[in-house]
Amino acid sequence: MLVKDKVCIIAGAASLRSIGYATAEMFVEHGAKVVVTDLGMDEQVLEKIKTSIEGSLQRSIVIHGVHCDISKREECDALVEKVLALHGTVDCLVNSAGIVQSQPILEISEKDLDLMFAINLKGAFFLCQSVLKVFVEKRSGSIVNVASLAAQRGGGLVGGSHYAASKGGMLSMTKSIAREFGALGIRANAICPAMIQTPMLDGLSEDRLRGIIDAIPLKRTGTTREMAGACLFLASELSGFVTGATIDVNGGTHIH
Name the site residues for ligand NAD (rule: CB under 6 A): 12, 14-15, 18-20, 38-40, 68-71, 96-100, 119, 123, 146, 148-149, 193-196, 198-201
DSSP β-bridge partners for residue 65: 36
Task: Give the distance between the most distant pair of CA atoms in the chain.
Answer: 52
User: In whole angstroms, how close is the CB of 243 to ligand NAD at the nearest point?
Assistant: 20
Nearer to ligand NAD, 123 or 160 (CB): 123
In sequence order, the 6+-apart residues with CB closer than 8 A to the CB of 139 are 184, 185, 186
Nearer to ligand NAD, 140 or 225 (CB): 225
Is 163 assigned a catalytic role? Answer: yes
User: In whole angstroms, how close is the CB of 216 to ligand NAD at the nearest point?
Assistant: 11
CA 134/CA 162 separation, integer angstroms = 31
CA angle 70, 73, 77 (to 5 degrees): 90
Q: Residue 248: which H helix or E strand, with range?
A: strand 246-249
Q: Which position among 163, 192, 196, 228 bears the catalytic label?
A: 163
Nearer to ligand NAD, 142 or 148 (CB): 148
Residue nearest to ligand NAD (CB): 98
User: In whole angstroms, how close is the CB of 165 to ligand NAD at the nearest point?
Assistant: 13
* Active-site residue list: 163
